[in-house]
Amino acid sequence: MPELPQLAGVPTVSGPFTATVPRQLVHRAAVAETLITGWRRTGTDQFRVAAQWPRAHPVHVSSDRTAYEPLLVTETVRQSGTLLAHTEYQVPLGYRFVLQELHVTTRPDCLGVGPVPAEPDVAVQIFDVRHRSGRVAAFRLSAAVTVDHTQVATAYFAASWTSEPVYRRLRGGRTAADVTALTPPPGLSPAEVDRTVPADVVLAQPDRAGRWQLRADTAHPVFFDHPLDHVPGMLLLEAARQAVQVMGGGKRVPASYQARFDRYAELDRPTWIEAEWGADGELQVAGIQGDSAVFACRVGTVAY
């Protein structure tokens, strides 16, 4: 992939924006999945990022097209951090993004879909920047997301970047080309998880209460926007969202996620999603492969 100097002419936000940033800067293959429209620096390690949210989306807008999902906020913040890593912190485009921790808190009552696409403003603070061999190797990010002068969410993540050779060693040489994903087992009905088509259901029929096999369909155009050698974090978060729908009987929706990604979830091994209500009213969700946890998430919910 080309290095950043070849992208020096990319415009930043300074006035009306009419197009998305280059999709490579946010690690997307599809322009349709690229949410960011521009950015500008506002201070030391401080930035404003502009985005646009579509009024309809298979997994990030409610099935009745009335509400934006909190995971759309999550994806917007992820894209913001990836964009800034490449454009402002000189992380080469070929480096791999590794998400370790993610928190997002939203106001579902402020995430309604309006008559035109929403244009969120993301105020970003970068901190705890770490270097390796003269390059930025990791940082933490906090963000406040505003739509029409109303703050609708706050978010935080910790991530690192690694070169392709180092990533290949970490992955034991596994690549998207040589990993054969398991065939997705039969899923729940779309209505049980507030989806309209079976292909968007990521939980299989339960083998017991509160436990489902993850359906990792590598042909899915959103979760597998481009070939991957592992289960993406956004798919695990969507599994947590769908677990809320099932465990809440369709009467509760997610408002916040606090997630930790412990290790890569492999596509050629079953991933089990286990969920139970905590004493604090949050849904405790875990992703399990074999005897090890790959993912843990606390989901705060509100009545639907």
> Mean pLDDT per segment of 10 residues, for the chain of length 304 residues?
38 60 95 95 96 95 94 97 96 94 97 96 97 94 97 97 93 91 97 95 95 97 96 98 95 96 96 95 96 96 90
Cα 297 from chain centre: 13
pTM equals 0.93
Q: What pLDDT, on a 0 to 100 scale, did the predictor assign at position 281? A: 87
Of 240, 144, 248, 236, residue with least CA distance to 192: 248
Helices (H), ranges, the chain = 70-88, 164-170, 233-247
- pLDDT for the residue numbered 18: 77
CATH match of 4-169 with 3.10.129.10? yes
Beta bridge partners, 132, equal: 135
How far apart CA 246 and CA 288 sit, in angstroms, is 19
User: What integer pLDDT is reported at residue 14 of this predicted model?
Assistant: 41
Task: Please provide the size of the chain in residues.
Answer: 304
Q: What is the pLDDT of residue 17?
A: 67
Q: Provide the residue ranges of all domains of the chain, joining segments of one domain with +.
A: 4-169, 173-303
Which pLDDT score, from 0 to 100, does residue 107 have? 97
User: Which parts of 107-189 are beta strand (E)?
Assistant: 121-132, 135-147, 150-162
β-strand partners of 46 = 43, 125
∠ Cα 53 127 68 (to 5°): 15
Cα–Cα distance for residue pair 145/230, rounded to 1 Å: 29
CATH number for region 173-303: 3.10.129.10
Evaluate whether 4-169 and 173-303 have a shared fold.
yes
What is the C-alpha separation between 77 and 83, in angstroms, rounded?
10
For the chain, how long is the longest CA-to-CA vector? 55
Phi, psi of 110 (to 5 degrees): -105, 10
